[in-house]
Structure 1
Amino acid sequence: MKNRKYLIIAVGIIAMLYNSGCQKQLDIKPNDSVESAIALKTSKDVEGVLIGAYTAAGLRGIYGGRFQSASDFLGDDGDFAYFGTFSDYTELNNKTITVNNSFVEGLWNAGYNTIGVCNTVLANLALVDPTKKAKVEGEAKFLRGMVYFDLARAFGKAWNDGSPTTNLAVPIILKPTTAISGIEMVKRNTVAEVYAQAISDLQFAENNLDIKSTYASSAAAAAVLARIYLTQEKYADAETEATKIISSGAYGLVEHFSDEFQVKEQATRVFNTSEDIFAIQISSQSGYNALNEVYASSAFAGREETYLNGQFFDMFEEGDDRINEVTDDSFTAKFNNAFANVVVIRLAEIYLIRAEARALKPSPNLSGAADDINVIRHRALLEDTEATTPGDLLAAVKYERRAELTFEGFRLFDLKRYKETTYSIDGDGNHVDPFEWNSPKLVFPIPKRERDANPLLTQNEGYQ
């Protein structure tokens, strides 16, 4: 059967969730369909499927680490060199992605798998306890909205590259497909349409969830909205969303930068820090942190294949404590716990979003932007920024984002927002071929297996 998983309910996940202790409530037969009238009968059933949505989102193909690492490998311009055996990473780092790249295909499948499970939850809200309905809907829409935004960024052109009203992104699917015979051949929606859908989902989540939670929260929804508005250059809106989070007092920076990346004497389950707004909860039972796999040394369960280059070390200002997040002068130490949570959103990013928005909005708040930058600099043991103009403040934000958020999945999308050039590199870390921010090679191809299954999915420029 052709690969059409992006349109099919994650039967395996639901079965796994209910296999221990819930078989009496849910009897899934080995068929190609799941009739919701049979499978879902109670509020508890639907809430269980919602847990399945978190499980789907936390798989390594997407927020378990590979979405972050794949986009960073594609955006990298020489901070690191990869000497591993995953040809998929080599393709990404060289900017020579093939249509069969398994990490790109994995992102597509994991993304639509998550969306499919969320759609199942949303289609069965009538079964949910009325006192829980808004929360369940909000959590499902948060996950769906965040995934749609990230799929649009990965598989579509950047918002500032041409016209988002005509550039194609990914298909919008809002209803569950419960049988193979019911699959529709869908077309790709535009970048603008996918962003609008993501915003709608996230706004509902923001208005119906608590400000803080181990799972989806109002703050997490506001954070992704802030990312979207910053991408769209709606700076006042981005500032508003970031301020909601900061002003809530529900989150606080940990005292030391290294405290955010919890490394124990041996790999073990950890809990969110005060800084974590949304994180994938990893344990030895649920899976592993894919960022540990690709970036950590073998001493910390990594594959020891991604080496830091001199360019990385030269980037840091003298005295910046964040440079200490390396070990043996070769590997980043951010992900030295194989079972640490994968942090998707943290407070430091929100301060930097607000700083950039304050500096660039039509009526800039330059002192406020500097204050936000200094919050991050002080934690890194640096003095106040000397920047006072919009241009200098933007340069200061760019530095802080690279020093603070490196290897966390931001580089590719930052260089597109800033219209910067990246490079492929040779084995010594030297720049080889330049790739402008709007190069077609910095957009993921639509996976071949998806196009084989659905010829209506047009391919991106530069790929066959």
Structure 2
Amino acid sequence: MKKISIVPLLFLFSFFLSSCENFLDVESFDKVSDANTIFDKASAETAVRGAYRSLASSNYSSGFQNTILQSGGDVRSLNNAQTDLNVINYALRSDIGFVSTYWGNFYNTINRANHVIEKVPLVNDVALTADLKNQLLGEGYFIRAYSYFDLARVYGNVQLFFTPTKVVADKLGVDKSPQAVVYAQVLADLNKAEELLPLTVVRNRATRYTVYALRARLHLYQNKFEEAEQDINSILANNNYRLIKPFNLAAGTTESVLEFSYSVNDLNAGYGLWNTSNRQLEPKAELHNLLNDEAVGGGRKILSVRNAAGQFIGGIYPTNTAAAYGIRTAELYLIRAEARVKKANPDLAGALSDLNLVRDRANVAASTAATKDEIVLAIENERRVEFALEPHRWFDIVRTGRAPAVFNLNDSNRYIFPIPAGEILANSSLTQNPGYGN
């Protein structure tokens, strides 16, 4: 039998561990096992909660936010570590630890979702009603879609797995699928979730409205602008999704579409990025000045304040139990604005209307943009300040082809991360992304 080398942070090994440790056990919120797997209502609900926790703790981890925020150029690290220099100089290497960590985190969440998708339909428990079974299954599809979407926009071409991993050998020999194929799978999962999920309003778990929101975001990446506008229309027809003036990042309000919840027993690690004497990040002076310019940032100046020592402090997480934002209502308006101005028959007035709703909510005067190109740039600039401390800008600039102009980054190979070196060593079917060697 062929021997497999032990590689640090290898996602395939972490998959094996996640199956062997009891991470679907009813007694544990986060864990599940094939020895005591999904077999009744309680264990099915526990499995889904664990998948959400993995999504919140892994896919939206503080480390991931740190890397993407620094890549976006408006936030700087206070650590000045070599890996920070690799990030800001767009000089990542396949042997950097976090490259493997993020990869493994995404796939661990996908594996949890695959457990739900495979096993919930097989549960025979009168307490698990047909409606609840559909809801839990729909949430599994949504969580998998969310994870594959982020995985593909970070790494480009990636492996697709649709069944739970039980042993390492289950996933050996699987080659990467093109990014476009992965996005098509994300769309298929979201369409399936739409069929299963209720048309209810819940801020911290998936509903049909949440599906519309993520699907609209995906449509922007696929240049499907009419479809993106249609999905946003479906959400904003509901008055439970509205902007609130004055500006405030308020969890549990109509400003929130999908948020990741935390508690005293499960702290938001992102808090440490911005707060305490050991904080890791701060807004750069240029971003601080934009946010504190009344004509640009308006009420969003609360996102960056100067302390007594003259340092810039990011204001996104007021406490270590504050929610993290996956999708906010402001993004809905800005997605629709972009879709309206870029679709085959542009609706400039409609695009400006959506853009100005976001600006008015921040107490900023209406945009003076008039032409299509001016409105497109105005939307880009609005996203920059609206999501100043959220991991959007890097992805926004890359997906719109603006990286050469904004980041002075002309090497398109650097628009995606390298496949972890350990994965290449362990699986001969995997090839490294162009520009990163072997």
What TM-score results when the alignment is normalised by the length of structure 1? Answer: 0.82
Rounded Cα–Cα distance in structure 1 between residues aligned with 2:171 and 2:302: 51
Contact 2:267 2:320 in 1 (8 A): no
Q: Give secondary structure in 2 for the equivalent of 1:224.
A: helix
Contact 2:29 2:50 in 1 (8 A): no
Q: Give the corresponding residue for 1:283.
A: 263
How far 1:185 sits from its partner (Å)? Answer: 2.2
Q: Give secondary structure in 2 for the equivalent of 1:244.
A: helix
Unmatched segments (≥5 aa) in structure 2: 1-5
1:313 pairs, out of 288, 296, 317, with 288
1:18-57 per-residue CA deviation (whole Å, 9 max, x = no partner) reads: 336999xx9x6xxxxx35xx53322332222111111211
**Structure 1 runs (4+) greater than 4 angstroms displaced:** 20-23
2:399 pairs, out of 417, 420, 432, with 417
Q: Give the corresponding residue for 1:160.
A: none
2:96 pairs, out of 101, 121, 125, with 101
2:105 pairs, out of 91, 103, 110, with 110
Whether 1:322 and 2:307 are equivalent positions in the alignment is no
Q: Give the corresponding residue for 2:3.
A: none
Whether 1:190 and 2:178 are equivalent positions in the alignment is yes
Q: Give secondary structure in 2 for the equivalent of 1:173.
A: coil
Q: Give the corresponding residue for 1:449.
A: 422
1:19 pairs, out of 21, 27, 32, with 27
1:417 corresponds to which letter in structure 2?
A: R
Whether 1:209 and 2:209 are equivalent positions in the alignment is no
How far 1:393 sits from its partner (Å)? Answer: 1.3
2:178 corresponds to which letter in structure 1?
A: T
Rounded Cα–Cα distance in structure 2 between residues aligned with 1:22 and 1:345: 23
How far 1:145 sits from its partner (Å)? Answer: 0.6
Whether 1:255 and 2:245 are equivalent positions in the alignment is yes
Q: Give the corresponding residue for 2:279.
A: 304
Cα separation, partners in 2 of 1:6 and 1:244, compared to 1, 3 Å: farther
Question: In terms of mean alpha carbon deviation, does 352-361 or 447-456 score higher?
Answer: 447-456
Rounded Cα–Cα distance in structure 2 between residues aligned with 1:190 and 1:450: 17
Question: In terms of mean alpha carbon deviation, does 305-314 or 131-140 score higher?
Answer: 305-314
How far 1:387 sits from its partner (Å)? Answer: 2.1
How far 1:326 sits from its partner (Å)? Answer: 1.3
How far 1:153 sits from its partner (Å)? Answer: 0.4
1:173-211 per-residue CA deviation (whole Å, 9 max, x = no partner) reads: 001122345443211001111011100111122232234
Rounded Cα–Cα distance in structure 1 between residues aligned with 2:228 and 2:266: 34
How far 1:6 sits from its partner (Å)? Answer: 6.0
Whether 1:126 and 2:108 are equivalent positions in the alignment is no
1:300-337 per-residue CA deviation (whole Å, 9 max, x = no partner) reads: xxx33433333223445544221332122512212232
How far 1:86 sits from its partner (Å)? Answer: 4.9
How far 1:17 sits from its partner (Å)? Answer: 5.4
1:191 corresponds to which letter in structure 2?
A: Q
Cα separation, partners in 2 of 1:385 and 1:42, compared to 1, 3 Å: same
Question: In terms of mean alpha carbon deviation, does 380-389 or 304-313 score higher?
Answer: 304-313
Q: How many residues align?
A: 415
Q: Give the corresponding residue for 2:434.
A: 461
Rounded Cα–Cα distance in structure 2 between residues aligned with 1:307 and 1:289: 16
Q: Give the corresponding residue for 1:274.
A: 254
Q: Give the corresponding residue for 2:371.
A: 389
How far 1:283 sits from its partner (Å)? Answer: 1.4
1:81-120 per-residue CA deviation (whole Å, 9 max, x = no partner) reads: 3231654333212212121222222211111001101111
1:358 pairs, out of 329, 332, 340, with 340
What TM-score results when the alignment is normalised by the length of structure 2? Answer: 0.87
1:272-315 per-residue CA deviation (whole Å, 9 max, x = no partner) reads: 2321111111112113232x222x1425xxx3343333322344
Cα separation, partners in 2 of 1:218 and 1:387, compared to 1, 3 Å: same
Q: Give the corresponding residue for 1:379.
A: 361
C-alpha RMSD of the superposition:
2.6
Q: Give the corresponding residue for 1:268.
A: none
2:65 pairs, out of 68, 83, 86, with 68
Q: Give the corresponding residue for 1:48.
A: 46
Question: In terms of mean alpha carbon deviation, does 445-454 or 191-200 score higher?
Answer: 445-454
